[in-house]
Chains A and B, each alone.
Chain A
Amino acid sequence: MHVSKIRKFFGILGPGLISAVSGLEITNIGAFSYIGATYGYKLLWIIVFASSIMALLQQLAVHVSVYTREGIVSEIKRIVGKKITLALLILLILANIVTAEINLIGVAFTLQLILKIPWPLGLVSTSLIVLAISLQKEYKYLERVLTIMSLVLSAYIFVMILYIIENPGEIVKIALSITIPPKTPLKELFIDILAIFGAAAAPYALIFQSSSVIMKGMKFEDVPEEFLDIFTGLIFATFASISIAVVAATYAPPNTSSIYEVILALRALGPYAIILFSVGVFASSVLAIEAIILCNAYITYEYKYLTLSLRDVVKSKVYGFSAFLTIIFSSVTALFHVLLRECNEYGFIDMVKDSSILISFTSWVPALMIVILYWRMSETTSSFVKIVSTLIVGGLIAVNVAGIVALAGL
């Protein structure tokens, strides 16, 4: 292959691959470890299903942003009015805060496990570190370092490949359980399925997708290339998520509940497992929280003023407020979450499930915004995609309402 072609190929693969790897954070690791350890391969297809839905919504976010040339929030405000937009944004910010708080808890418990630092102290120090990094504003170099550090979490893929090499028959079982959904009482597993959707959702990712399109000044002819990037991300994210579940199904104890038991799934790596896990979780959590701070600032700025590039939002005062408030709210929520669950690191998986379910309850918000905007596009849209995306959002809302009803015991 010609050198320039190789370069172009990796140019397309690079960003999607890296963002997919750095998108692996404690919510995914905790939720998919639990799913693998508890149900084996039975729910792998739901992980794939949830990831593909997310990828379709990302595609639509790109398409809509290229067409409107405005941020999602500005457009939605114009269509549904200020009050409804505000209500939707509050839900989105809540989902972001829940994602940030579980990441803080994950790092605090990991620090307690490795360095014997009491989790409250770990929680406060991690919050302060994240705040300090975000207030620096220019942390591009640090961001690269953190991204590289978070790459170590792809150790899950490595362990799965090792396992498959040792047990070649397993690949057939895995492939079959992904392609043909095994018989499972979905009603009984309803809440756990919601947790999978919550872990795969990352609602802030859709806002980022849109803002990056606007920042790059992308044209319609660039859209297929961006779709390829999303496709790469989808393939990698799905592969990584399946790896986590498969590795947990193989090596983690059946009733995985603590962060230590989650790490046990990586025991094939020997003494390096705990170090790799800690470094990866710390880096990916810091990256995720920084992304959430930026997302909160971006949507607040867009709601209050106008669409702006991410770079300019970072320079605004709103960003400082967003960083401060996001960290305060996430730390306080994390503290209350641990205290309410009355648990130490042994109840970690329960807390991940709580957070994933809460994120799932709000995951439809950006999806709904994007689908509304997609319907309003007059050109270059497909009726089939319009119908399917509407059914997806409708399904997400229905499933989450049913989840709330089930949890409330009504």
Chain B
Amino acid sequence: MFIDVGLVLKVFIYIVGGFIPFLYNYYFVKKRVDKESTEKITKESDKTLSGHDKLRSNKVTGEEEKRTIEPITLSNTLSLHYLGDERITRNTATPLYVLLVIDQNTMNNPEALNKVISDVPKIMGSFENKK
């Protein structure tokens, strides 16, 4: 039986080079997203179950390192004015607050966020050196 190799090749390139990878990539990414969201939900539920104990253990670890990490919610930036005011902070043992202003893009990227957080001690070190 005669097979038109040229035509078969054309059809192959047409299908494999065009729609198939497009559709495949869609389902591939969708599957990954679904998988990640399922994992996230599982983790969240685990957290809820042992949340109280975990919080307590975190606090202990922090105390061991003589540092506590306390989240600050800013409702108004004016509330931080005293930090720059020497009349208030002079001769007082005020705690050092590190304010990280993180944009949404970085916030959504775990790698970038980790990098920013891990850079904090370095930045603080450079401030200390300047003094």
Contact = CB atoms under 8 A, between A and B. Distances in A.
B19 A52 contact: yes
Given A56-B21, A234-B22, A380-B29, A181 B105 contact: no
B33 A221 contact: yes
Most interface-central of A180, A224, A395 (chain B CB within 10 A): A224
Interface in A27-78: 45, 48-49, 52-53, 55-56, 59-60, 63, 69
Given A52-B22, A56-B22, A180-B7, A45 B37 contact: no
Interface residues of A, number: 34
A388 interface: yes
Interface string A375-392: 000001010110011011
Interface residues of B, number: 27
Given A52-B19, A181-B11, A183-B7, A217 B108 contact: yes
B106 to A, nearest CB: 7
Interface string B100-112: 0000111011001
B36 interface: yes
Contacts of B33: 220-221, 223-224
Contacts of B22: 52, 55-56, 59, 231, 234
A389 B24 CA distance: 12
Contact of A382 (B11, B25, B36): B25
B32 interface: yes
A388 B17 contact: yes
- The residue among B11, B16, B18, B109 with the most chain A CB atoms within 10 A of its own CB is B18
B21 A227 contact: no
Given A183-B4, A221-B33, 17 more contacts: A45-B14, A48-B18, A55-B22, A56-B18, A56-B25, A59-B26, A69-B112, A180-B7, A221-B37, A223-B29, A224-B29, A224-B30, A227-B25, A227-B30, A231-B22, A384-B21, A392-B17
